[in-house]
A and B are shown apart, each in its own frame.
Chain A
Amino acid sequence: MNPNEPIQVSESTLASARVLFALLVREMATRFGGSWAGYLWALIEPLAFIALLSLAFSQIAHSPPIGRSFPLFYATGYIAFSYYNDIAALTGRSIHVNRPLLSYPVVGPLDTVLARFLLQGLTGLAVAAIVFAGILAVFADQVQIRPLPLMASLALAALLGLGVGLVNCTLFAFSKTWELIYGVIARPLFQVSAVFFTFASMPAYVREVLWWNPIIHLVGLMRAGFYPAYDASHVSHVYVLALTLGLIVAGLAMMRVGSGRLAES
Chain B
Amino acid sequence: MAGNEIEIESRDLNLWYGGAQALKDITLTMPEKKVTAIIGPSGCGKSTFIRCINRMNDLIKDCRITGELLFEGRNVYDKGVDAASLRKKIGMVFQKPNPFPMSVYDNIAYGPRLHGLRKREELDEIVEESLKASALWKEIADILDRSALDLSGGQQQRLCIARTLAVKPKVILFDEPCSALDPISTAKIEDLINNLKHDYTIVIVTHNMQQAARVSDYTAFFLLGELVEFGKTKQIFEMPEEKSTEDYITGRFG
Do these two chains interact? Answer: no
List the interface of chain B (C-beta within 8 A of A). none
